[in-house]
Structure 1
Amino acid sequence: MGSDRTQGSPALIPYPRQLIRGGGVLEVACAPPAVSYSAARSARMEAAAARFAGALPAASGGASPSLPIRVHCAALAQRYPSLGVVENYRLNVHSQGVDIEAPSEWGVLHAFTTLTQLAGDDGVLPLCRVDDGPRYPWRGLLLDVARHYMDVDALRRTIDGMAYCKLNVLHLHLTDDQAFRFPSASLPMPHEQQYSAQDLADLVTYAAERGIRLVPEVDMPGHVTALVAAHPHLGTQAVDPSARFGVHPACLDPTREAVYSAVGQLLGEVTEIFPDAYLHIGGDEVSPGAWRDSEAVAGYLEEQGVPDLAALQARFMNRVGNMMRDLGRIPLGWDEALHPDLAEQFVVQCWRGARQRDLALANGRQVVLSANYYLDLFYPADVHYGFDPEASLQELEAAEDALLEDARLSHVAQGMRWTQHWREAQAQGTLGGEVLGGEACLWSELVTQSLLDVRLWTRLPAVAERLWSPPEQSDTADFYERMDRWLVRLPEAAGIDIAASVRSHMADVGVADQWLALVDLLEPVKWYARLLGEDAMRARLSGREMPMARPYDANTPLNAIVDGLPPESFVVREVEAICRLVDQGDESALGQLRALIDSWRELAALDGCPRAIVGCQRQLGEVVLCLAAHLDGADRAETLARLRRLNEPQGEYMLALIPMLCRWLEPPG
């Protein structure tokens, strides 16, 4: 057997710890597999085997033998997965069938996932041996269901997709300023669209059958506008319901016993539904004004000798954390909650850069890393793929700095520099804590459930691989090549079809077929450019207080062309591959590129372009002139300078061809 690298990587995501290919293949386009169990057996494993069988291509006709699959699982698992369960497995595909070995059920589930990915549309399995297991025990996705509600079917589909890339934590952000989705009996919210307790309990079971934990988040003491609007006695001041985005002034009153009583009842209800040992209580973006302007809080600080508002928040978090301890739960909080007085039991989820990770580690904390894994920023997959959770501070900040020079992000580079004030803190001493893993985060200000698949699955596989595979698995080109083929199987495996979602959205918003070729070349603007809008963006960059008004709120229809665009253009990546072949002297690729230029020239000359993207159509005409001149021998540096001048967004849209061509024409080094 030889290394699979010499034969082309199979479409596996995440890539396994070790895969050794043999010569030949095993036919699988046949009758349902014949699965036998030599040790432990469970309905959960049988269901995984059935999902594998359901994803196989149909037999081409005539009787054919069943594929023998022998499963040796050393031990049954508990009903629900938990942090640190053994997920390793071994898989051997040989001429006589398939052998799976695993210490527990969780490894068997992963083995069937790998087997599904190995089975191509041609109905064969490559002969191979796989020895695999995860790098991190916490491999998650945060999904914000507060800003926009996602129904149970959408969540189930997401869980299926997560299982297909071996993620194992779905972090549900259930409450925020705009809505409170948890069905609390003690704190009823009669006007909210909420999940039922049965919905959530069924979802926990559905996820557990696929090896996925559900970790709920009930955000406090800030991000509570919806709750305080319905129950004013819990806040420092009365507030109205709000649909706007951005930090809100509403905050729980940390001086009142009634607040802790209500929080205790709420947490008890949460733990009745969610069996996981971990429960997230937020702690982020607490507006200082809500406490600073409260006479009750001022009196409490003086009476209790609490030195400042940060110490007050730590006291609040500790008291809530003690309630959770009594309920048998371990608390998580965002990195703003990190404080010398914060109890040791808290796990810290870091989102504000590598410095916060190191501060938490120096404080002896367990850490879940989300910095550089924010999917709502519309970044390409390779950006997320380039950040390793345990890279050194210097490596991570160098990678962040390199993004400032990336032509795809030049239009938001100044905004990205604003976040460098997070680097002011310095970790002291040994980094004695532990990185448990990480979570990609999809905040849903600009995401509805109809847009969910497009926003998640163009980038989430990159984070999934970063959290599972060894750190040396870092070839971006290889990842993209595998992901493109992996996505082809995703509709069968999880009912997720990105191309169909995009086309459906474009039809719904009235884009005629003749303009789809232009739409395929577009991407949304990056970072927070859409969410903030021009006025708030300028205020943030100048250090002024940002205006309350934003282009979007929770009631804004997301029914524009830009809403349905994938964050990264698949077509432009294909064009880039053609351009690289042109550089290698490939005459066929040169012919392809010239044919594309001709088609773009016709597209740029068409009348009736949708108003929202007419600026991008004009840019395409300019790009055609630049590119045709370049192929005809124009000065490379002059062509690059022209493209760089063109590399500006048109409202909320980017013609993704332009930064790609800039990168192509840039001199090496």
Structure 2
Amino acid sequence: MIHSAPNRLMPGIVLAMAMLLAACGKTGAPAATETTAASGDAIIAPALIPQPAAMMPAEGGFMVSADTPVHARGSEAETVARQFIALAAKTPQLQLKLDDAATDAGGIVFAIDDTLPAAAPEAYSLDVSPQRIRVSASDGRGLYYGAVTLWQLLTSGAGDAPLRVPALRIDDTPRFGWRGLMLDSARHFQSVDEIKRVLDQMALHKLNTFHWHLTDDQGWRIEIKQYPKLTEVGGCRVPAGDGGIDPKSGQPRPYCGFYTQEQIRDVVAHAAALHITIVPEIDMPGHAQAAIAAYPELGVLGDKPVPLNEWGVNTYLFNVEESTFRFLENVLDEVITLFPGKYIHLGGDEAVKDQWKASPRVQARMRELGIRTEEEMQSHLLKRLEKHLVAKDRLMIGWDEILAGGLPPEAAVMSWRGTEGGIAAAKQGHDVVMSPVSDLYLDYLQTDSPNEPPGRPATVTLQEVYAYEPMPAGLDATQQKHVLGVQANTWTEHMRGFERVQHAIFPRIAALAESAWSPAERKDWDGFLKRLPVQLQRYRALGIAYAQTPFQVDIATAGSGRDGKVQVALSNPLGYEVRYTTDGSAPAATSPLFEQPLDVKLPAQVQAAAFFAGQPLATASVRKLDATSLLTRNDEEMKMCTGNLMLRLEDDGPADGERAIFKVDIFNPCWQWTGADLDGIAAIEVRAGRIPYYFQLAHDEPHRKFKPAKSAHGELEIRSGCEGPSLASVPLPAGTEADGFVTLKAELPAATAGSHDLCVVFTGDTRPAMWALDRISLLPAAPRP
């Protein structure tokens, strides 16, 4: 069960997929968007994401070719014009040139217009007539966003030069001033080039705030010259299991990475050119393990070893000594010199106070300061650091846990545990960024597809991101002004490479952009789905490895196949039309349209793909069906017995390259095959893997359940019902075979027959490792001679 990398879109898809048909008229197939010109003629609307605030189509259009001159009026306009020319050269590969001629007739004009309101620096106007294109704004920021919209207009057509831009008038301004994306570089490290690629795409989605999570338990990623061990020690960890061992030498192989201050200045400058402000995060007082590993005197436990390769909610906190406060102030002083933006993020989340409660020294320090509770102690620390930041002309922002114990006077709140924290902060007169885990956490999977990469199996779908309304109900007009905007967060525990980061962000960033920029009344899910295929083509042209899973087809079966047939259901997560074949050929636009479950004769090969405007949106899903394959299920096809704490976990080996992925409930590792038909089945074969158990779960740890082992290494148990009687049990070995797996065969009692909810359980507490199901097969009894 090796997970393969996301497939790219098929190369034959043309850029104008959403523009080819005015109405497909088929079930599940969104029709192309239409609008009306002044004359009443139907015009297919351009595929713009995010939707502009106001757009009025007109008659005719402007033809753009390599001979079209580009004019700039002023130095800011020239900068934007050059950025537009560079973007047009990438896609649609149009080689434009800046023209210094005094006249701007018959060309593309970028102009700073001093008559436009200066209070709206991100607003712009875009006029397209048969004679010319003019983009104007009061500020370079708005002019840049106008250039992005014009680029999207150029890439909404058929792709052949000359390009026709429809005549229209756009007057556009963002709904929110904070349009953010957070990327965690602490858990897994991204290169400077990869960070710049994220920034480039943010700008093309009109996002303007990059929240950079630079420190955490698993890594300290920012160079602090006064404290070099932060990166020398805290910037490295040895991964658990085989992933932390050099396959050639057998020695530990550390995972390291940090950004030098020079590199950070380079990234900040790159972001500034794209009108993006970077908000750095230095997390405290929790998520501090990497810093404490580097300088143990900062912690509560003295010189005890500090692990950096465990995931979850850890209990290490900074201590509350004056020397530690000064350390944090010194760190922030260097951070301030690198990031010119208004806000510095100080975290404040998931700071489990067990170490503080158990420490006589911390308790004595609290008494010295006249502080009654640990929450007030955290508030005291953050208030002091906020005062330090304000003195340096910066403001503090933190996760909504900073509300406990009292907010620092000028702090802003990032509401992640829901909307309640944001509402409470706004009602107290504090600025707020809405970023709820339920709707905007991009480390959650996008679909239920088995092709999803490792991560948290809870889903935040594209539609959920799109549907999220950032302005909470119940705030009056004054309180609403404190809602700065909206942000999605990308945590990278499970994102070992940049391709997975892209899978998480794209295309959900497009949905985020529309919530952050477009007026609420302009949002339209069906219209978004019609514009999205063109956006995917832009991603492909720019080399973005966006998620394929929302555009693939899920193939589900019902029935045992023992009567020579099986029922097949096909679905696409976004509701695009599905076309299929059963003869082994690739589906095409002329293939049958799936409308109801199919009765398929065995053996067969079902192939299915989602289509829009006659073009496939992703490579076809393929499933071979025969009597033998229907007797096997992998872990993805099994349900979890309880699903208390679900994860899709990657194997620890091989050290490099692709690894197996296991669906696991780490609180109750038990997998269920509902309604397994055991008539004629003599035995059950299970293929299992063994992965490191390297989770710190704080107060949730006691909830993990183990069934007691009867032998040295535990047993594989097959039960009828997860709490039902045992059907079979075989001892587990001490370890796996060389490939990291073991195959076990459990004989069933002779009288076993009928339908059973088969549950696969591994007994015993086998930490620091755990067994995980890879697949289960029903083995028929041998025919009688």
| Residues 32/608 of structure 1: CA separation in 2 closer, same or farther (3 Å cut) | farther
- Deviation, 1:51, is 2.7
Q: Which residue of 1 aligns with 2:149?
A: 114
Deviations along 1:411-457, one digit per CA (max 9) or x if unpaired, are xxxxxxxxxxxxxxxx9998476100011001111113121111111
CA contact (8 A) 2:184 2:491 kept: yes
Secondary structure of the corresponding residue to residue 12 of structure 1: coil
Secondary structure of the corresponding residue to residue 603 of structure 1: strand
Task: Give the AA of the match of 2:297.
Answer: H
Task: Give the AA of the match of 2:554.
Answer: L
Q: Provide the rounded CA distance (Å) in 1 between the counterparts of 2:425 and 2:578.
A: 41
Q: Provide the rounded CA distance (Å) in 2 between the counterparts of 1:612 and 1:113.
A: 50
Q: How does 1:472-551 map onto structure 2 within 5 Å?
A: 472-492=521-541, 494-498=542-546, 521=554
| Residues 432/313 of structure 1: CA separation in 2 closer, same or farther (3 Å cut) | farther
Q: Provide the rounded CA distance (Å) in 2 between the counterparts of 1:206 and 1:376.
A: 25
Among 451, 454, 473, the residue aligned to 1:392:
473
**Residue 235 in 1 paired to residue 266 in 2?**
no
Task: Give the AA of the match of 2:184.
Answer: D
Secondary structure of the corresponding residue to residue 112 of structure 2: strand
Deviations along 1:505-541, one digit per CA (max 9) or x if unpaired, are xxxxxxxxxxx99x85389xxxxxxxxxxxxxxxxxx
- Deviation, 1:67, is 6.5
Q: Which residue of 1 aligns with 2:268?
A: 204
| Residues 318/100 of structure 1: CA separation in 2 closer, same or farther (3 Å cut) | same
Q: Which residue of 1 aligns with 2:316?
A: 250
CA contact (8 A) 2:105 2:131 kept: no
Q: Which residue of 1 aligns with 2:89?
A: 54
| Residues 43/94 of structure 1: CA separation in 2 closer, same or farther (3 Å cut) | closer
| Residues 14/573 of structure 1: CA separation in 2 closer, same or farther (3 Å cut) | same
Q: Which residue of 2 aligns with 1:297?
A: 362
Among 232, 253, 256, the residue aligned to 1:190:
232
Q: Which residue of 1 aligns with 2:435?
A: 370
Secondary structure of the corresponding residue to residue 92 of structure 1: strand
Q: Which residue of 2 aligns with 1:419?
A: none
CA contact (8 A) 1:32 1:66 kept: no
CA contact (8 A) 1:17 1:133 kept: yes
Q: Which residue of 2 aligns with 1:261?
A: 326
Structure 1 or 2: more helix by fraction: 1
**Residue 128 in 1 paired to residue 168 in 2?**
yes
Q: How does 1:237-636 map onto structure 2 within 5 Å?
A: 237-238=301-302, 239-254=305-320, 256-339=321-404, 341-371=406-436, 372-378=439-445, 379-392=460-473, 431=479, 434-447=482-495, 448-492=497-541, 494-498=542-546, 521=554, 571-573=572-574, 575-576=576-577, 591-593=592-594, 600=606, 603-605=623-625, 614=634
Q: Provide the rounded CA distance (Å) in 2 between the counterparts of 1:324 and 1:25.
A: 52
CA contact (8 A) 2:571 2:578 kept: no
Secondary structure of the corresponding residue to residue 168 of structure 2: strand
Secondary structure of the corresponding residue to residue 108 of structure 2: strand
Q: Which residue of 1 aligns with 2:113?
A: 74
Secondary structure of the corresponding residue to residue 409 of structure 2: coil
Among 37, 40, 61, the residue aligned to 1:2:
37
Q: How does 1:30-49 map onto structure 2 within 5 Å?
A: 30-31=65-66, 33-41=68-76, 44-49=79-84
Q: Provide the rounded CA distance (Å) in 2 between the counterparts of 1:430 and 1:382.
A: 30
CA contact (8 A) 1:362 1:433 kept: no
CA contact (8 A) 1:381 1:459 kept: yes
- Deviation, 1:113, is 0.4
Secondary structure of the corresponding residue to residue 253 of structure 1: coil
Q: Which residue of 2 aligns with 1:15?
A: 51
Q: Provide the rounded CA distance (Å) in 2 between the counterparts of 1:436 and 1:429.
A: 13
Task: Give the AA of the match of 1:246.
Answer: G
Unaligned 5+ runs, structure 1: 77-82, 394-426, 504-515, 524-568, 580-587, 623-644, 654-669
Q: Provide the rounded CA distance (Å) in 2 between the counterparts of 1:361 and 1:51.
A: 42
| Residues 610/452 of structure 1: CA separation in 2 closer, same or farther (3 Å cut) | farther
Q: Provide the rounded CA distance (Å) in 2 between the counterparts of 1:429 and 1:96.
A: 44
Secondary structure of the corresponding residue to residue 301 of structure 1: helix
Structure 1 or 2: more strand by fraction: 2
The range that moved more, 32-41 or 262-271, is 32-41
Deviations along 1:188-214, one digit per CA (max 9) or x if unpaired, are 221421111111111111111111111
- Deviation, 1:152, is 1.1
Secondary structure of the corresponding residue to residue 472 of structure 1: helix
Q: Provide the rounded CA distance (Å) in 2 between the counterparts of 1:612 and 1:42.
A: 63
Among 137, 156, 178, the residue aligned to 1:102:
137
Q: Provide the rounded CA distance (Å) in 2 between the counterparts of 1:428 and 1:311.
A: 29
Secondary structure of the corresponding residue to residue 481 of structure 1: helix
| Residues 117/267 of structure 1: CA separation in 2 closer, same or farther (3 Å cut) | same
CA contact (8 A) 1:284 1:337 kept: yes
CA contact (8 A) 1:31 1:66 kept: no
**Residue 213 in 1 paired to residue 277 in 2?**
yes
| Residues 234/133 of structure 1: CA separation in 2 closer, same or farther (3 Å cut) | same
Q: Provide the rounded CA distance (Å) in 2 between the counterparts of 1:246 and 1:211.
A: 34
Task: Give the AA of the match of 2:625.
Answer: A
Q: Provide the rounded CA distance (Å) in 2 between the counterparts of 1:25 and 1:346.
A: 50
Q: Provide the rounded CA distance (Å) in 1 between the counterparts of 2:62 and 2:483.
A: 40
| Residues 5/207 of structure 1: CA separation in 2 closer, same or farther (3 Å cut) | farther
Q: Which residue of 1 aligns with 2:652?
A: none
Q: Provide the rounded CA distance (Å) in 1 between the counterparts of 2:555 and 2:183.
A: 25
| Residues 452/522 of structure 1: CA separation in 2 closer, same or farther (3 Å cut) | farther
Q: Provide the rounded CA distance (Å) in 2 between the counterparts of 1:106 and 1:430.
A: 27
CA contact (8 A) 1:381 1:458 kept: yes
Q: Provide the rounded CA distance (Å) in 2 between the counterparts of 1:186 and 1:347.
A: 28
| Residues 31/179 of structure 1: CA separation in 2 closer, same or farther (3 Å cut) | same
Q: Which residue of 2 aligns with 1:633?
A: none
Q: Provide the rounded CA distance (Å) in 2 between the counterparts of 1:428 and 1:474.
A: 23
Deviations along 1:533-579, one digit per CA (max 9) or x if unpaired, are xxxxxxxxxxxxxxxxxxxxxxxxxxxxxxxxxxxx99543555779
Task: Give the AA of the match of 1:197.
Answer: Q
CA contact (8 A) 1:39 1:74 kept: no
Task: Give the AA of the match of 1:158.
Answer: V
- Deviation, 1:614, is 4.2
Identity in percent: 28
**Residue 138 in 1 paired to residue 178 in 2?**
yes
CA contact (8 A) 1:44 1:209 kept: no
Q: Provide the rounded CA distance (Å) in 1 between the counterparts of 2:41 and 2:348.
A: 46
- Deviation, 1:90, is 0.1
- Deviation, 1:304, is 2.4
CA contact (8 A) 1:367 1:433 kept: no
Task: Give the AA of the match of 2:546.
Answer: I
| Residues 491/184 of structure 1: CA separation in 2 closer, same or farther (3 Å cut) | same
Q: Provide the rounded CA distance (Å) in 1 between the counterparts of 2:388 and 2:197.
A: 34
Q: Provide the rounded CA distance (Å) in 2 between the counterparts of 1:72 and 1:610.
A: 65
Q: Provide the rounded CA distance (Å) in 1 between the counterparts of 2:203 and 2:152.
A: 12
Task: Give the AA of the match of 2:126.
Answer: L
Unaligned 5+ runs, structure 2: 1-35, 96-103, 236-256, 446-459, 557-569, 581-588, 608-621, 640-673, 675-755, 760-771, 775-785
Find the structure with the greater CA-based Rg: 2
Normalising by structure 2, we get a TM-score of 0.60
